[in-house]
Amino acid sequence: MACVVFDAKRCDAGAGRTRLKLVGENFPAVSNDIKMETLSFAVEADGLTRIYKRGGEEVRALDGVSFRVRDGEFVSIVGASGSGKTTLLNLLGCMDAADRGTLRLAGHEVGAINERARTRLRRDHIGFVFQHFGLMPTLTVHENVALPGLFGRRIWPSRHQKSLDARADELLERVSLAHRRNHRPHELSGGEMQRVAIARSLLNTPRLLLADEPTGDLDSATGESIIELLQELNRDGLTILVVTHNTALAAIAEHQISLRDGRLIQDSTDQML
């Protein structure tokens, strides 16, 4: 069975730099016991509660939060600092577990599957975009985009039987950065780095994109270009949930969720709660 292998070699340009070379060609389809299901809802949250202990104090970071997100929706999650936005995003990204309540993602009840299955669910069906980009400084733009392909084997639909190399190039074209393919992050602007991060999040063709303050480190003009890119991806059918303080970004979402002190205070599909 063929696979893509990365061969790590030192660059002649300077110490401390690592260059990843794609050696293989085809990234084959393999079996996976997490199957995609065609459902009306990409996310179904019911009574999500997350409690942390701080000394003798009990902090309810989330307190009985319930909502649903349809496939293909653009959703904004807003609220003041400490309202529970990041905690909710961590639950939706399978990076944390709720103390109470149920969560269904891509047709699977997260609390009913083991840690290994949750890892596959996160890897194969969820893309992440972060405020501070999260790029590897010693890798090129192309290598950063291809990086998720290192983590386990992935089912690629038959229509996408391409090499990982070609997939990364395809995504760089999609975000208008093909000309920056061999540059490193420190050679890019903030907007370009965020575009690389978005391209990386799409490598495994996720069903759901989670974005945490994607315009937070950008000026207003650059932020608008990132908003436009997210809108384009959503028009192509990608379900997007974005945590933001950016009122312009929150306003373009068709579905808006507001949190306060760990509780859902407004869901635009249900009006005030």
Work out the mean pLDDT of the chain and round it to a whole number.
Answer: 83
Sign of CA pseudo-dihedral 228, 229, 235, 241: negative
99-141: pLDDT as tens digits: 999 999 988 899 999 988 998 888 888 999 998 899 999 999 9
Total residue length of the chain: 273
- Asked if 233 contacts 208 with a C-beta cutoff of 8 angstroms, the reply is no
- Around Cβ 230, how many Cβ atoms within 10 Å? 23
d(CA 222, CA 226) in angstroms, rounded, equals 7
Token pair of 265 as six digits:
């205070």
* SS3 label, residue 197: helix
Read off the pTM. 0.79
What percent of the chain is modeled with pLDDT above 90?
59
Q: Which pLDDT value is given to residue 248?
A: 87
| Domain annotation for the chain: domains and CATH numbers | 6-272 (3.40.50.300)
67 burial (CB, 10 Å; 0-12 / 13-18 / 19+) is: buried
